[in-house]
């Protein structure tokens, strides 16, 4: 799998902050024109995210094990999303390879679609292994009951851009569904420079969040979702 420098994953809101966004003049359809470094945003053949059609998937025999703990870390508004950064928060095992969680962030509405349907919110959990290969675990949120741990995130989320707060303990498992069925495919970063070689896993079961929580997150993020990308010849794996 192609290696991606850590600096690329966390470039959101730093080096490229003045160049790209989600408005008409600097949004996803314009990214590749804003900077030569962003050319993969239009020319890449394994771009994320995608629309997943369950009838067009292939059965996966790869086990997924989620092994998260608790962690206290910084939460920042980088101008494009609300991001939490971690040092020692556990991670996951996929294809017998251990990936450590290094960051999570949010999109409203979702970037992933299931059967052509978008969700009001999506969480991306960014992981890396010892060889700096990246894996993103995507969690979809649906309108429902209040999510206690999401309340914790929102209570610390900075409203002002480039502001960071120290967050109390976060129980990551409380932001995840009970069922670990998933879809898996090869993709890319969903933000410039859109580098490919990223292993994607989308959990099938969504997580509940209240309308008030969804609205609160959207009030900070606005619409920060990239449109779905062509699948081309990629295979989507599915595990129950």
- Catalytic residue positions, numbered: 80
Strands 121-128 and 134-143: antiparallel
Alpha-helical runs (H) found in the chain: 6-9, 31-34, 40-43, 148-156, 211-221
Q: Six-digit token pair at 1?
A: 């799998």
DSSP, collapsed to helix, strand or coil, labels residue 172 as: helix
> Rounded to the nearest 10 degrees, how much is the dihedral formed by the CA atoms of 181, 187, 189, 195?
160
Whole-angstrom Cα Rg for the chain? 17
Is-contact 65 92, C-beta < 8 A?
A: yes
> Rounded to the nearest 10 degrees, how much is the dihedral formed by the CA atoms of 148, 151, 152, 154?
160
């Amino acid at each position: 799998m192609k290696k991606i420098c850590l600096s690329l994953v966390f470039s959101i809101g730093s080096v490229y902050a003045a160049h790209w966004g989600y408005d008409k003049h600097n949004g996803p359809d314009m990214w590749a024109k804003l900077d030569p470094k962003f050319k993969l945003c239009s020319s890449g053949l394994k771009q994320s995210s995608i629309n997943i059609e369950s009838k067009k998937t292939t059965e996966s025999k790869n086990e997924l094990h989620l092994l998260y703990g608790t962690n206290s870390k910084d939460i920042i508004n980088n101008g494009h999303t609300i991001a939490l950064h971690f040092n020692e928060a556990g991670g996951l095992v996929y294809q017998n390879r251990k990936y450590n969680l290094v960051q999570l962030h949010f999109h409203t509405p979702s970037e992933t679609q299931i059967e052509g349907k978008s969700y009001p919110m999506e969480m991306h959990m960014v992981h890396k292994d010892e060889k700096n290969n990246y894996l993103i675990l995507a969690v979809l949120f649906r309108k429902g009951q209040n999510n206690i741990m999401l309340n914790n995130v929102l209570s610390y989320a900075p409203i002002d851009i480039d502001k960071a707060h120290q967050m109390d303990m976060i129980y990551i498992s409380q932001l995840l569904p009970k069922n670990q069925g998933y879809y898996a495919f090869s993709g890319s970063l969903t933000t410039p420079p859109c580098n490919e070689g990223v292993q994607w896993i989308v959990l099938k079961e969504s997580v509940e969040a209240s309308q008030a929580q969804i609205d609160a997150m959207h009030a900070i993020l606005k619409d920060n979702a990239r449109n779905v990308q062509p699948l081309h010849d990629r295979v989507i794996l599915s595990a129950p």
